[in-house]
Amino acid sequence: MKILACVKQVPGTNRVEIDPVTGVLKRDGVSSKLNPYDLYSLETGFQLAEQYGGEVYTLTMGPDQAKTAIRETLAMGASGGTVISDRRFAGADVLATSYTLAQGVKRAGEFDLILCGKQTTDGDTAQVGPELAEHLGIPHVTNVLEVRPAKREEDGDMQQKEQDARVSGTEGASGADEKGPDGAGNGPGAGRRLWVRALRDGLIVEQLVTTPCLLCMEDGVNTPRLPSFRRQKAITEEQIGVMNLDDMEDRNEKAYGLSGSPTQVVRMFPPQKRDGKELWNGTEEESAERIFELLRERKMI
Amino acid sequence: MYHNIEERDIRALRDIAPGRVLAGAEIGGDYGHDELGGISRMPDVLVKVLTTEEVSAVMAYAYANDIPVTVRGAGTGLVGGCIAVEGGILLETTAMNRILELDEDNLTLTVQPGVLLMDLAAYVEERDYFYPPDPGEKTATIGGNISTNAGGMRAVKYGVTRDYVRGLTVVLPDGGIVKLGGKVVKNSSGYALKDLMIGSEGTLGVITEAILKLLPLPALSVSLLAPFETMESAIEAVPAIIRSKAVPTAIEYLSRETILFAEEYLGKQFPDKSSDAYLLLTVDGSSRAAVDGETESLAELCLSLGAKDVYIVDTEERKSSVWTARGAFLEAIKASTTEMDECDVVVPRSRVAEFIRYTKQVAEETGLRLPGFGHAGDGNLHIYLCRDELEKEEFEARLAKAFDLLYGRAAGMGGLVSGEHGIGWAKKGYLARQSGDRLIGLMSGIKTVFDPKNILNPGKVCR
């Protein structure tokens, strides 16, 4: 399986300040790190590649220093990575960012699976992953807890049910069936199916999804591996690709950066805290009973 | 002989600490034991004190009436130090939990004894200061830390609790209040009574206020997790690391077995468990360049000493995935067995590998399971003697034999009975045996000078 994990460099601490005048995140002088949510999707990719064969590549968009993020993914186990970097991409909102990433993905090669984190710790929109899938015209699933190649019987079931349901534009579905679940040799876009367990509106959903597809991994689904010093030492410059606007299929500047961004941030402010604190005195039993009643009343349980 | 608590004593104590005195059956069962529970005995009366003056009044009353008094912080000790083995009054300090003053001109923090270590650390770090002692038990009180001279996981570079106590306010057994040390950096003024009080496990006086020394908070720290093929190769790397003149804050030894216990206990996966043995090192410093330089040379050194790889633990999330497990080792091992005792022995750092090897031998000889972990960088090992399915009597017999062997070998290496948990009740016999009559005589004499009636934490350390 050829896997692409999209990552982002974010501020290195959780104590980031917002400029009260401009409403923009103060990034100057703050160390950076890989978006913690991306670590779970990276780990998912590494585990899939280890178990079923394949390789993980990574992609990021950002200033030149975003190379550090790619180097870190290489130290964790990625085979190669690409930085999309161009001053003309600056000021991108989620739409322009996902469009830029989609353009980059098209140039980076063909992948069976694209993995994203749930969201980033600095933007917190959780929109870039799904939008990227839309730009690429591939299916996506968010809040994914678990993923593996579909077993033959699961795939058969699904085919039965779907009868002549549409197969997402590729023709390889039956070919994938014959190769079975361990079909690591399937080329990109082979139309194989993945079994996915995901959270949706408070329910756990199990479903099959046809590759190529994009999955946004839920927070905490695994323990991400640590970067290896040995791997870090072995990184070569050839493993890190760099792309700019001139490398893209769509070279219309207007589609990127600030000019490609319809979003306008009117104001940024910290959310208001609710001060509805109550202090209860009583025995453990009484308090337990009361809290149970309250939770039931508010339909929390 | 001690006086047995009567109704009038309880009334007198209620006058001193109104609303904060519990007696007899009102006292919760947890006050009868500590974290390890090797000894249990309920106090007759529990007094939750709030001020130095209250402590003084309680002590004066107890002294006049021959009532034994035992001081208790959060009760996280492991050697029975806070157990009222003679009954009497248990003086709880956890409500004295105020941070009194941050003195930025003298870089000191003045605290009451009941402040929890985790609250203290959070308070100073928010203000870009640093209190280096870092014992695994973060819910311990600072008073308890001072009383045992707790060490922790930064001792290699920064030393132990004693190195960070500048001054103490102490209530003596007869109720007298004295101040030892102060905000001064240097002190050659007579006997070092402050240092004597630190580590005296509540037998010489009651600490009611402490002035702690702070450092500027290092800008960043990075840990390295180095997997090794075997325990020997991991531990044998430690002296070479120390010789290299690198100054990590910590060099911790982790075995796969203990990591698996922690995973089960926490319900969380450790980031790597492909190897039998690991060293966990931490480097801190004031600049990215300095820390990167030092981590790189340490990582290279580990590789040259046989590490299979070196993993980089550099973000809050990564540190939490590794250090949460490390912090849970004691509880995790405890959860893996029916009952256990512990050996907190300390040996010269050069002998750590030899001692751990010997531990395996003792496990075989006694048939006891002896999981452990250790501050490999400072020679302090924590070995747990697990009862598992053994009959009580059989366990105790094997326990005695294992302790004899372990402490005997440690003494032969120039080691000592306790690195950081103290002697309390549980390790008295081993301290006496190793120290000999002359030293125990000196300690006992000191005890008599401070506490001629032997009412303060009787039956502990040297008595």
- Which token pair is A277? 């604190």
- Which token pair is A245? 């606007």
Which chain A residues contact residue B313 at CB under 8 A? 226
The dihedrals phi and psi of B444, each to the nearest 5 degrees, come to -65, -35
Q: Are strands B89-92 and B45-48 parallel, antiparallel or unpaired?
A: parallel
pLDDT of residue A172: 37
Q: How far apart are CA B343 and CA B386, in angstroms?
A: 11
Please tell me which of the candidates B220, B299, B321 has its beta carbon nearest to residue A229. B299
B330, B347, B375 - which closes a domain: B330
Domain ranges of chain A: 2-148+210-260
Q: Tell me if A61 sits within 8 A of A243, measured CB to CB.
A: no
B43 and B138 belong to one structural domain? no
B110 and B182 belong to one structural domain? yes
Q: Provide the strand spans (E) within B201-289.
A: 206-213, 215-216, 220-228, 250-255, 277-285
Residue for token digits 């605290």? B111
Query: For residue A62, is pLDDT > 90?
Result: yes
Q: What is the DSSP letter of B415?
A: -
Q: How far apart are CA B190 and CA A34, in angstroms?
A: 55
Chain B residues within 8 A (CB-CB) of chain A? 220, 224-225, 268-272, 288, 299, 303, 309-318, 321-322
| Res. A153 pLDDT band, cuts 50 70 90 | confident
Question: Is residue B426 included in any domain, yes or no?
Answer: no
Give the gap in angstroms from C-alpha A12 to the nearest C-alpha of chain B. Answer: 7
Alpha helices in chain A (DSSP H): 36-52, 67-76, 94-108, 128-136, 152-162, 173-179, 229-234, 284-297
- Which token pair is B33? 């034991």
Q: Tell me if B374 sits within 8 A of B352, measured CB to CB.
A: yes
Which chain B residues contact residue A232 at CB under 8 A? 312
Encoded amino acid at A292, one letter: F
Q: How far apart are CA B103 and CA A175, in angstroms?
A: 74
B158 and B252 belong to one structural domain? no
Q: Tell me if A209 sits within 8 A of A194, measured CB to CB.
A: yes
Other beta carbons within 10 angstroms of residue A141's beta carbon come to 22
Q: Provide the strand spans (E) within B334-456.
A: 340-343, 372-375, 380-386
Are B270 and A223 a contacting pair at CB < 8 A?
Answer: yes
| Res. A169 pLDDT band, cuts 50 70 90 | very low
Other beta carbons within 10 angstroms of residue A262's beta carbon come to 9
Please tell me which of the candidates B272, B288, B315 has its beta carbon nearest to residue A225. B272
pLDDT of residue B463: 86
Encoded amino acid at A112, one letter: D
The dihedrals phi and psi of B193, each to the nearest 5 degrees, come to -65, -30
Please tell me which of the candidates B220, B272, B303 has its beta carbon nearest to residue A226. B272
For the CA atoms of A276, A281, A286, A290, the dihedral, rounded to the nearest 10 degrees, stands at: -10
Is the CA virtual torsion B203, B209, B213, B215 positive or negative?
Answer: positive
pLDDT of residue B314: 93
Q: What is the CATH number of the domain that holds B53?
A: 3.30.43.10
The dihedrals phi and psi of B375, each to the nearest 5 degrees, come to -85, 80
pLDDT tens per residue across span A233-247:
999 999 999 999 999
B275 and B237 belong to one structural domain? yes
B330, B357, B388 - which closes a domain: B330
The ipTM, to two decimals, is 0.82
Query: For residue A189, is pLDDT > 70?
Result: no
Alpha helices in B97-230 (DSSP H): 117-126, 142-148, 155-158, 193-197
Are A229 and B310 a contacting pair at CB < 8 A?
Answer: yes
Q: What is the DSSP letter of B462?
A: T
Q: How far apart are CA A2 and CA A188, in angstroms?
A: 7
Give the gap in angstroms from C-alpha B213 to the nearest C-alpha of chain A. Answer: 26
For the CA atoms of B147, B149, B153, B157, the dihedral, rounded to the nearest 10 degrees, stands at: 150
Other beta carbons within 10 angstroms of residue A124's beta carbon come to 10
End-to-end CA distance of chain B: 15
pLDDT of residue A268: 74
Is the CA virtual torsion A258, A261, A264, A269 positive or negative?
Answer: negative
Q: How far apart are CA A49 and CA A55, in angstroms?
A: 6
A227 touches chain B (CB under 8 A): yes
- Which token pair is B373? 């972990």
Q: What is the secondary structure of B132-152 as a DSSP string?
A: --B-S-TTSBHHHHHHHT--B
B257 and B305 belong to one structural domain? yes
A231: exposed, middle or buried (C-beta count within 10 Å: 0-12, 13-18, 19+)?
A: middle
| Res. A167 pLDDT band, cuts 50 70 90 | very low
Kind and range of the H or E element at B450? helix B428-450
B31 and B77 belong to one structural domain? yes
Find, among B279, B337, B333, the residue nearest to B305 by Cα. B279
Question: Is residue B294 included in any domain, yes or no?
Answer: yes
pLDDT tens per residue across span A156-166:
766 655 544 44
Give the strand order in the sheet containing A55-61: A203-210, A193-200, A140-149, A213-217, A113-116, A2-6, A55-61, A80-84, A240-243
pLDDT of residue A187: 45
Does the pTM surpass 0.90? The reply is no
B113 and B209 belong to one structural domain? yes
Give the gap in angstroms from C-alpha B146 to the nearest C-alpha of chain A. Answer: 32
Question: Is residue B450 included in any domain, yes or no?
Answer: no
Q: How far apart are CA B377 and CA B446, in angstroms?
A: 33
- Which token pair is A105? 């993905």
- Which token pair is B101? 């003053």
Q: What is the DSSP letter of B2?
A: P
Query: For residue A174, is pLDDT > 60?
Result: no
Question: Is residue B312 included in any domain, yes or no?
Answer: yes
Give the gap in angstroms from C-alpha A192 to the nearest C-alpha of chain B. Answer: 30
Other beta carbons within 10 angstroms of residue B149's beta carbon come to 22
Q: How far apart are CA A7 and CA B98, in angstroms?
A: 44
B319 and B338 belong to one structural domain? no
Are B312 and A228 a contacting pair at CB < 8 A?
Answer: yes
Give the structural domain span for B188.
Answer: 99-216
| Res. A186 pLDDT band, cuts 50 70 90 | very low
The dihedrals phi and psi of B280, each to the nearest 5 degrees, come to -120, 115
B46 and B80 belong to one structural domain? yes
Q: How far apart are CA B69 and CA B46, in angstroms?
A: 10
B136 and B184 belong to one structural domain? yes
pLDDT of residue A29: 62
B195 and B272 belong to one structural domain? no
Are A223 and B312 a contacting pair at CB < 8 A?
Answer: no
Find, among B373, B271, B260, B265, the residue nearest to B322 by Cα. B271
B330, B352, B370 - which closes a domain: B330
Provide the domain count of chain B: 4
Which residue of B lies nearest to A15 if distances are taken between CA atoms?
A: B126
Find, among B340, B275, B234, the residue nearest to B332 by Cα. B340
**Which residues between 61 and 90 in chain A have a beta carbon less than 8 angstroms from any beta carbon of chain B?**
75
- pLDDT tens string, chain B, 463 residues long: the values are 899 999 999 999 999 999 999 999 999 999 999 998 889 999 999 999 999 999 999 999 999 999 999 999 999 999 999 999 999 999 999 999 999 999 999 999 999 999 999 999 999 999 999 999 999 899 999 999 999 999 988 999 999 999 999 999 999 999 999 999 999 999 999 999 999 999 999 999 999 999 999 999 998 999 999 999 998 899 889 989 988 888 899 899 999 999 999 999 999 999 999 999 999 999 999 998 999 999 999 999 999 999 999 999 999 899 999 999 988 898 999 999 999 999 999 999 889 989 999 999 999 999 999 998 888 999 999 999 999 999 999 999 999 999 999 999 999 999 999 999 999 999 999 999 999 999 999 999 999 999 999 999 999 999 8
pLDDT of residue A276: 73
Question: Is residue B14 included in any domain, yes or no?
Answer: yes
Q: What angle do CA B225, B228, B233 make, to 5 degrees?
A: 125
Question: Is residue B150 included in any domain, yes or no?
Answer: yes
Q: How far apart are CA B212 and CA B113, in angstroms?
A: 11
Q: How far apart are CA B90 and CA B176, in angstroms?
A: 19
The helix/strand/coil state of B129 is strand
B71 and B24 belong to one structural domain? yes
Query: For residue A177, is pLDDT > 50?
Result: no
How far from A77 is each of A16, A42, A43, B12, B312, CA to CA, in Å? 29, 9, 9, 70, 13
Question: Is residue B363 included in any domain, yes or no?
Answer: yes
Residue for token digits 């690991």? B278
Q: How far apart are CA A180 and CA A53, in angstroms?
A: 14
Q: What is the secondary structure of A220-276 as a DSSP string?
A: TSS-PPPPBHHHHHH--GGGEEEE-GGGSS---GGGSTGGG---------PPPPP--
Q: Tell me if B463 sits within 8 A of B444, measured CB to CB.
A: yes
Question: Is residue B231 included in any domain, yes or no?
Answer: yes
Which chain A residues contact residue B316 at CB under 8 A? 13-14
- Which token pair is A140? 């996506």
CATH topology of domain A2-148+210-260: Rossmann fold (3.40.50)
